[in-house]
């Protein structure tokens, strides 16, 4: 509005503090608070083993939520990720069981490629229907959520799809249980996916376009950005992230069931929101998202360790968290 | 409105007593004292950032002053909020459109105070009263139309009609005519005069000085958050107002017109249709020419040009430097060297929640990338250059575009589009909501573009502006190009005749108060 050259130096530090984007810092403060709470509830909580274990278990949601960060930053929403995970896992295992290629290693490698291909295709389906059909993402992905889940149940004949080859299971298992340089493999996958996601979102023109489309679609259009292409691409990225999560998930149990990925969409969206990404689009925070996924798993861990609240209520707690997170986000934004 | 006219004449209905407002350490308004009498139109003028809007918000309960008091009828008041102020008869007509786009005109006008018959809303009565209210503003809008189907100008009229439904003693108009055509403006000024004659006090904020001269009884000038002068309107000519606002002599608003137009056609449009908006449009644009598009709001000017550059579906022959072209998307026309700057800067031009750098390079990111990577250093250099070339005044580089004044937003948008290195620049309402100092800069910039051999199309509802800078003006009416004026014939009267289809003497009657 008016010039503010007259700010005195003594206020410099306070001003810097005030300038810090509170929505960006909030998730990390909340994480620190959870650490304190965890330590109070059970001294074991802060052990490296327990924390690494929690981090490992948060990997599926963290990786999926990285994709969701793209979708939501661009002003979209994907409710189908949980069902998509089940479908991708099912198809991947069916392929691994088919014995189409000689050699277990080659089979596994091809299986991973197949999983990623299926994930990308499922994402493309969401993106294409949303952009070409001009339908609300909420409705489209609600529909594909049902479709993916149903096809998985059909493929599993109502039961589960399990990896048949014991040799292949043993070969695949380290992807979940293995440790490299002191960190579990799934943690490395989170780090890699996070670095790649942050690079794409913050450093490339595509990432800039994602934020522009989420910020204001008209401005993006008038600036010559292919809005539909950008939006569709975010859903493809989401699909690929789901597939990567599946590649980490399948070796854990070696099977996909009709309940695989149940409520993952809730957890992924919650992780994104508590991570500071704006649900209306225009702001994306990859590291906040990962922090959010970690927090969700810690809450579950504390519930298990403490016996104060039944762990059967974990869904209720997570549902409460997303609502509180939205309230906090709104309050912080108002103060800005 | 008062039972006692002598008392009413002596006691200001609304008064500011030494009010000041600070945001954090920054005082944006200092010791403003102001008296608004019943039955007077009191205009507040000043450049963007002078504190006009802040003052209005203080007077209407949207903000609380940090110092000083607001008084009504001589009694100090403290509004709990805008609703409280409304209860006391003080109404603010916002500059921004605050209407529900999916509801009808009547539903919006009566929103929150619906007329009822028993338990049911009385739609028929609300529609009737809405039609009346809108008609009294000189517009003819079907009250059952959805707001989203109306042009910005018409939405503004609906908003004014809505505000005037509240019983009012003081009405504050914040730039009410920024998107109105002369006809609509004239109708609004008439409404304001009627209000005044009924004893209502009017506070009127505007950038359009001739209009202020035509409507105001007294004029208060703000500059840099301070009150510079309050004068009788009869004592001030627009030139004096501008000088007080800017604090320096306004030499000349429009740059010297130079005959930069060559005979070489760069753009030829033949029989172009934009379904629902423009029909059978044909025109040519010459190298170095500044071509104006005049017409009433809704005549189809914006839509025609948007159709040509590929922002809307349109059909027709377009030749660029003699070669037939077809722009399927706006990206195609950008690549061909044509840029279009939307009239809707905030909605279609800039990402208000993003910083200057992001906005500047948004349309040309590929020029700032190496491989997949954006080179922030080069973006920053480009921003430095834009800030100095276009005189963008931002107190900090990391400001968001939404925090800039209207004038600086327009400069940023210009800078953004000029990065595309266009040969044809189409600017829609280049100076809407912009202060005089910046206007002058933008006119100079447009004229310089033409001097360097670029061609410019200016769409504007301010006829004076078109007459001041264009070589030639096309006039549209009801989706068609109905006339062309050039040289000596470029007068408001001539344009109005084409734009409205009204005979000259009738038009004069209308535009008399608007010269």
- Tens-place pLDDT, residues B472-488: 999 998 889 999 999 88
Tell whether A204 is within 8 A of chain B (Cβ). yes
Residues B387, B315, single domain; the answer is: yes
Strands B265-274 and B278-286: antiparallel
* Separation of alpha carbons A183 and A190, rounded Å: 11
pLDDT of B395 > 60? The answer is yes
Residues B392, B452, single domain; the answer is: yes
Better pLDDT: B336 or B99: B336
* Separation of alpha carbons B389 and B412, rounded Å: 10
- Residue B256 resides in a domain: no
- Residue B255 resides in a domain: no
Is the CB of B372 less than 8 angstroms away from the CB of A204? yes
Write out the residue range of the structural domain in which residue B163 sits. 5-246
Average pLDDT over residues B245-249: 69
Is the CB of B365 less than 8 angstroms away from the CB of A209? yes
- Residue B216 resides in a domain: yes
* Separation of alpha carbons B30 and B58, rounded Å: 12
How is residue B434 written in tokens? 């912009």
Tell whether A2 is within 8 A of chain B (Cβ). yes
H/E run at residue B92: strand B90-93
How far CA A319 is from CA of A78, A314, B251, B309, in Å, comes to 17, 9, 65, 47
Is the CB of B366 less than 8 angstroms away from the CB of A5? no
Average pLDDT over residues B294-306: 88
- Residue B442 resides in a domain: yes
Strands B455-459 and B424-428: parallel
Residues B93, B158, single domain; the answer is: yes
pLDDT of A169 > 60? The answer is yes
pLDDT of A2 > 60? The answer is no
Q: Which of B26, B311, B373 sits opposite A222 (nearest CB)?
A: B311
Q: Which residues of B touch A2 (CB under 8 A)?
A: 26, 28, 49, 51, 224-225
Half-sphere exposure of A242 (CA within 13 A, CB side): 37
Domain of residue B9, CATH code:
3.40.50.300
Residues B270, B223, single domain; the answer is: no
**Mutating which of B351, B364, B377 best tests the A interface, going by the most A Cβ atoms within 10 A?**
B351
Is the CB of A211 less than 8 angstroms away from the CB of B354? yes
* Separation of alpha carbons B235 and A43, rounded Å: 82
Q: Which of B401, B392, B407, B386 is nearest to B355 (CA)?
A: B401
Single out the residue in B197, B217, B246 at which a domain terminates.
B246
pLDDT of B7 > 60? The answer is no
Q: Which pLDDT does position B299 carry in this prediction?
A: 85
Which phi and psi (to 5°) does residue B35 adopt?
-125, 125
- Residue B251 resides in a domain: no
Residues B342, B453, single domain; the answer is: yes
Please, what is the average pLDDT of chain A? 88
Lowest-pLDDT range of A207-216, B9-18, B302-311, B453-462: B9-18
- Residue B429 resides in a domain: yes
Q: Which pLDDT does position A12 carry in this prediction?
A: 47
Tell whether A1 is within 8 A of chain B (Cβ). yes
Average pLDDT over residues A83-89: 96
pLDDT in tens, B211-233: 888 899 999 999 878 899 999 99
Chain A: residue whose CA lies nearest to B376: A203
Residues B207, B306, single domain; the answer is: no
Number of independent structural domains in chain B: 2
Set out the domains of chain A in order of their start, with CATH numbers.
48-335 (1.10.3470)
Residues B434, B352, single domain; the answer is: yes
What's the gap in Å between the CA of A20 and the closest CA on chain B?
A: 12
Is the CB of B395 less than 8 angstroms away from the CB of A5? yes
Better pLDDT: A201 or B46: A201
Chain A: residue whose CA lies nearest to B404: A1
pLDDT of B181 > 90? The answer is no
Tell whether A228 is within 8 A of chain B (Cβ). no
Tell whether A131 is within 8 A of chain B (Cβ). no
Is the CB of B362 less than 8 angstroms away from the CB of A211? no
* Separation of alpha carbons B250 and B248, rounded Å: 6
Q: Which pLDDT does position B8 carry in this prediction?
A: 46
Residues B222, B172, single domain; the answer is: yes
- Residue B253 resides in a domain: no
Residues B414, B334, single domain; the answer is: yes
Average pLDDT over residues B157-185: 83
Tell whether A10 is within 8 A of chain B (Cβ). no
Is the CB of B49 less than 8 angstroms away from the CB of A2? yes
Q: Which residues of A touch B395 (CB under 8 A)?
A: 3-5
Residues B449, B390, single domain; the answer is: yes
Q: Which of B23, B330, B403 sits opposite A224 (nearest CB)?
A: B330
- Residue B362 resides in a domain: yes
DSSP state of B259: -
Q: Which pLDDT does position A6 carry in this prediction?
A: 36
* Separation of alpha carbons B306 and B273, rounded Å: 11
Q: Which residues of A touch B353 (CB under 8 A)?
A: 215, 282-283
Is the CB of B351 less than 8 angstroms away from the CB of A1? no
* Cα Rg of chain B (Å, integer): 24
pLDDT in tens, B344-387: 898 999 999 899 999 999 999 999 999 889 999 999 999 999 99
Q: Which pLDDT does position B178 carry in this prediction?
A: 67
How is residue B210 written in tokens? 């001739």
Q: Which of A318, A285, A281 is nearest to A198 (CA)?
A: A285
Q: What number of other Cβ atoms are within 10 A of residue B388's Cβ?
A: 9
Average pLDDT over residues B38-57: 86
Average pLDDT over residues B229-245: 85
Q: Give the pLDDT band of residue A8 (cuts 50, 70, 90).
A: very low
Q: Do the interacting molecules here have an ipTM over 0.85?
A: no
Residues B397, B505, single domain; the answer is: yes
Q: Which pLDDT does position B48 carry in this prediction?
A: 65
**Mutating which of A210, A223, A225 best tests the B interface, going by the most B Cβ atoms within 10 A?**
A223
* Separation of alpha carbons B265 and B74, rounded Å: 66
Average pLDDT over residues B249-260: 75
* Separation of alpha carbons A330 and A332, rounded Å: 5
* Separation of alpha carbons B147 and B166, rounded Å: 20
pLDDT in tens, A251-302: 998 899 989 999 999 999 999 999 988 888 888 899 999 999 999 999 888 8
In chain B, the percentage of residues whose pLDDT exceeds 70 is: 93
Residues B269, B203, single domain; the answer is: no
Q: How many CB pairs under 8 A join A and B?
A: 93
B7-11, B317-321, B474-478: range with highest mean pLDDT? B317-321
Q: Which pLDDT does position A335 carry in this prediction?
A: 52
Tell whether A226 is within 8 A of chain B (Cβ). yes
* Cα Rg of chain A (Å, integer): 21
Is the CB of B362 less than 8 angstroms away from the CB of A225? yes
């Amino acid at each position: 509005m008016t010039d503010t050259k007259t700010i005195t130096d003594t206020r410099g530090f306070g001003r810097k503090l005030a300038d810090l984007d509170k929505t960006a810092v909030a998730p990390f403060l909340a994480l620190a608070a959870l650490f304190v709470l965890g330590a109070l509830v059970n001294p074991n909580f802060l052990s490296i083993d327990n924390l690494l274990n929690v981090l490992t278990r948060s990997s599926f949601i963290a990786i999926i939520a990285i994709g969701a960060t793209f979708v939501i930053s661009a002003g979209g929403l994907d409710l189908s990720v949980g069902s998509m995970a089940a479908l991708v896992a099912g198809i991947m295992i069916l392929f691994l069981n088919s014995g189409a290629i000689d050699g277990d290693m080659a089979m596994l490698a091809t299986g991973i490629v197949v999983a990623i291909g299926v994930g990308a295709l499922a994402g493309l389906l969401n993106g294409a229907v949303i952009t070409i059909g001009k339908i609300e993402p909420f409705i489209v992905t609600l529909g594909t959520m049902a479709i993916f889940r149903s096809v998985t149940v059909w493929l599993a004949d109502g039961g589960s799809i399990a990896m048949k080859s014991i040799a292949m299971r043993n070969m695949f298992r380290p992807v979940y249980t293995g440790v490299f340089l002191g960190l579990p493999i799934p943690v490395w996958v989170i780090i890699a996916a996070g670095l790649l996601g942050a690079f794409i979102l913050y450093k490339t023109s595509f990432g800039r376009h994602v934020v522009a489309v989420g910020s204001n679609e008209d401005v993006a259009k008038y600036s010559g950005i292919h809005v539909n292409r950008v939006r569709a691409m975010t859903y493809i990225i989401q699909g690929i992230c789901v597939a990567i999560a599946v590649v980490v998930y399948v070796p854990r149990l070696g099977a996909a069931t009709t309940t695989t990925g149940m409520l993952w969409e809730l957890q992924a969206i919650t992780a994104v929101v508590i991570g500071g990404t704006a649900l209306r689009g225009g702001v994306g925070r990859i590291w906040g998202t990962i922090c959010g996924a970690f927090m969700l798993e810690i809450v579950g861990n504390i519930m298990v360790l403490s016996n104060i609240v039944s762990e059967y209520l974990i869904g209720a707690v997570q549902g409460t968290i997303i609502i509180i997170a939205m309230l906090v986000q709104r309050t912080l934004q108002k103060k800005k | 409105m008062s039972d006692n006219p002598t008392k009413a004449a002596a006691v200001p209905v609304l008064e500011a007593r030494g009010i000041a407002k600070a945001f954090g350490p920054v005082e944006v308004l200092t010791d403003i004292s102001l008296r608004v009498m019943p039955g007077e139109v009191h205009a507040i003028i000043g450049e963007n950032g002078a504190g006009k809007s802040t003052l209005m918000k203080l007077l209407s309960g949207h903000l609380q002053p940090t110092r000083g008091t607001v008084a009504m009828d001589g009694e100090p008041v403290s509004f709990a909020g805008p609703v409280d102020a409304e209860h006391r008869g003080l109404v603010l007509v916002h500059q921004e459109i605050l209407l529900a786009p999916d509801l009808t005109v009547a539903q919006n006008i009566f929103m929150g105070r619906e007329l009822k018959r028993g338990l049911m809303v009385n739609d028929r009565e609300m529609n009737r009263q809405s039609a009346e209210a809108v008609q009294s503003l000189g517009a003819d809008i079907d009250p059952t139309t959805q707001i989203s189907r109306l042009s910005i100008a018409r939405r503004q009229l609906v908003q004014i009609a809505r505000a005037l439904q509240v019983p009012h003693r003081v009405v504050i108009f914040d730039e009410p005519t920024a998107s109105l055509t002369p006809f609509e403006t004239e109708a609004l000024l008439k409404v304001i005069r009627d209000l005044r004659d009924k004893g209502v006090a009017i506070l009127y904020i505007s950038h359009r000085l001739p209009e202020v001269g035509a409507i105001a009884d007294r004029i208060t000038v703000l500059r840099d958050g301070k009150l510079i002068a309050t004068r009788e309107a009869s004592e001030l000519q627009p030139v004096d107002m501008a000088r007080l606002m800017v604090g320096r002599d306004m030499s000349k608003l429009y740059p010297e017109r130079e005959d930069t137009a060559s005979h070489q056609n760069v753009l030829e449009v033949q029989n172009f249709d934009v379904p629902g908006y423009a029909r059978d449009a044909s025109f040519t644009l010459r190298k170095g020419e500044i071509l104006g598009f005049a017409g009433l709001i809704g005549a189809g000017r914006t839509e025609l040009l948007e159709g040509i550059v590929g922002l809307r579906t349109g059909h027709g022959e377009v030749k660029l430097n003699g070669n037939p072209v077809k722009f399927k998307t706006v990206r195609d026309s950008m690549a061909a060297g044509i840029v279009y700057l939307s009239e809707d800067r905030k909605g279609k031009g800039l990402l208000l929640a993003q910083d200057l750098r992001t906005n500047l390079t948004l349309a040309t990111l590929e020029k700032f990338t190496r491989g997949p990577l954006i080179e922030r250093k080069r973006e920053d250099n480009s921003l430095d250059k834009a800030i100095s070339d276009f005189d963008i005044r931002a107190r900090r580089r990391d400001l968001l575009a939404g925090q800039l004044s209207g004038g600086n937003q327009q400069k940023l948008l210009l800078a953004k589009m000029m990065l595309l290195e266009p040969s044809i620049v189409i600017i829609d309402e280049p100076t809407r909501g912009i202060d005089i100092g910046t206007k002058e800069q933008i006119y100079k910039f447009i004229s310089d573009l033409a001097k360097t051999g670029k061609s410019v199309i200016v769409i504007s509802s301010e006829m004076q502006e078109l007459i001041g800078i264009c070589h030639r003006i096309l006039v549209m009416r009801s989706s068609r190009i109905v006339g062309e004026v050039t040289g000596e014939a470029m007068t408001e009267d001539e344009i109005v005749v084409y734009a409205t289809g009204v005979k000259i003497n009738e038009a004069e009657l209308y535009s008399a108060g608007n010269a």
